[in-house]
Amino acid sequence: MAKPKKYIFVTGGVLSSIGKGIAAASIGNLLENRGIKVTMVKMDPYLNVDPGTMSPFQHGEVFVLDDGAETDLDLGHYSRFVQGAKFTRKNSFTTGRIYDAVIRRERAGGYLGKTVQVIPHITDEIKRHIREAAADADLAIVEVGGTVGDIESLPFLEAIRQMRAEEGSEKGAENVLYVHLTLVPYIAAAGELKTKPTQHSVKELREIGIQPDILICRSDRKVPKDVKDKIGLFCNLPGDQVFSAIDVQSIYEVPLFFREEGLDEKVAEKLGIWSGRPDLSKWQAMVERIRNPKGEVTIGIIGKYTDWRDSYKSLSEALSHGGVANQSRVNMVYVDSEEIERGENLDLLRSVDGILVPGGFGERGIEGKIKAIEYARSERVPFFGICLGMQLAVIEYARNVAGIRGANSAEFKPDGNENVVDLMESQKGVTDVGGTMRLGAYPCQIVTKHGGKPTRAFQAYGKELITERHRHRFEVSNAFRERVESKGLVVSGKYINPQSGLELVEMVEIQDHPWFLGCQFHPEFLSKPLEPHPLFSAFVAAAKTASQSAQRPLPGITKSKRSTGDGVGEGSAGVSGVRSRAAERA
């Protein structure tokens, strides 16, 4: 008889952004380290088929998988916490995708003679998606997006309610476990933790037929035993099934805290999983390096979504992983590129040890990013350009070094005759916006040497063939490639089409610079705390070397205080218009 599949459904109550994704990923981390084959699933209640067409201000970053799926940023958390799972588009779906599948089936005659309804047809489709995603794992942890009480998430909640009866139990142990994350706020005026929000959230769940098996209480302090017992009494479960989830310095501490609370032991007991204790030695060592760095660097991130940090979630995590590899804290200063464009307060660029220009879309703030790239190149500040950041580095180099004064991108100047960045051939004629970019994993051939010296790309990776994830429509134009290469820009990585032999530029760099590199792909999607991405490790190492040199304030300009942000090392500032170090020396 086949071993029964186990499911953990994670819901959230009281408010959004309470940390369901981190909690679910942390449970996955602990169970994986107990030797269980775990997968993770995210169900989002919005009507978009996927988040690919949504603004970063609406939903944070879009996390791209190897198969090209554009998914919720929680898939990024899952990838960083659950090391052994391979995620595909099956692991992330939305209400829009569910309804699309049901309506397509109805139009094809799949429900002939029947009235198509939310129950059973939508809920059956949700359950089919869940089971399909869980097919190759022993246990699936399924996060239900949104907040309990939202109208749009009701079909998901009804589907997971049905699954407990359908999946059954074995020898007194359930095959389905409900974990509910809720808020227990501390009211300073009363001097106590308040449990009423949790009670009401659980009441909402119980009204639709779901009794939580485990409660995780988010708070700024540990929830004492007497409060846990009180919550258990009013929420119809034992006090030893109520756990704390306190605010921590780094999200990577959450699995260790849950382990200290005994959460994984209770989950294993309730599901009837017999396994050894989790081996968290490597994870603990990594967390120690975050807690006790031996140095620090400051990286300026030049973007246009700087007011919403979730837009750059994987990027900031990958930088912190690079810090782990170099035993350094990475302080991140987010700089609005439009402020640089306006020429404001540019001395902030002098205060950072490295400059990073991430991906993005649209013309807003572009010239500010190009100005920051010019500064990094001319003043020999370590620079890393990702996707659009690489394209803009090529534009800057073409304008200011190769003499192509009108250099631009077809994205911003469609009728330009000096577009060194152009629409990909495969994108011409594409009219739909959603899911039509060059998406997912593609190979990249690394050039090992240039001018007798190893390239930065090869030094970072140590191998000639890599695979990285992409999300773009535009590429460096081969029509201008020879001109910029003849002036010193090195193409150190390329994709070679196996059918046509056509080459696409994947990586560029400048050799006579401390560290200047751009890549068309998104390396942040493959970085993990236990396996920092080699490009981020190399970039942070270069910034660390640069930080050894003193940076003097510019004459006549008030020096900005370097921001170290909170425990994660994030800060923000505005910037623009700098006088160069060379000019200062003159």
**Tokens encoding 487:** 């002036």
Residue type, 538: A
Q: Are strands 465-472 and 503-510 parallel, antiparallel or unpaired?
A: unpaired
CB 478 within 8 A of CB 503: yes
* Catalytic option among 77, 180, 472, 522: 522
Q: In the annotation, is 217 catalytic?
A: no
Q: In the annotation, is 418 catalytic?
A: no
Residue type, 399: R
Q: In the annotation, is 121 catalytic?
A: no
User: How many Å apart are CA 56 and CA 296, to the nearest integer?
Assistant: 29
Q: Are strands 295-303 and 354-357 parallel, antiparallel or unpaired?
A: parallel
User: How many Å apart are CA 577 and CA 20, to the nearest integer?
Assistant: 41
Q: Which residues contact 109 (CB under 8 A, 6 or more apart)?
A: none
Residue type, 136: D
Instruction: Classify burial at 500, counting beta carbons within 10 Å of its beta carbon; exposed 0-12, middle 13-18, buried 19 or more.
Output: exposed
Cis peptide before 238 (omega within 30 of 0): no
**Tokens encoding 469:** 């994830």
User: How many Å apart are CA 410 and CA 431, to the nearest integer?
Assistant: 16
User: How many Å apart are CA 55 and CA 53, to the nearest integer?
Assistant: 7
How far, in whole angstroms, is CA 353 from its chain's centroid?
23
* Catalytic option among 61, 338, 468, 524: 524
Residue type, 577: G
* Catalytic option among 387, 468, 472, 533: 387
CB 221 within 8 A of CB 186: yes
Q: Quickly list DSSP for 466-505.
A: EEEEEEESEEE-HHHHHHHHHTTEEEEEEEE-TTT--EEE
Can you say whether the dihedral through the CA atoms of 13, 19, 25, 30 is positive or negative? negative
Looking at the annotation, which residues are catalytic?
A: 387, 522, 524
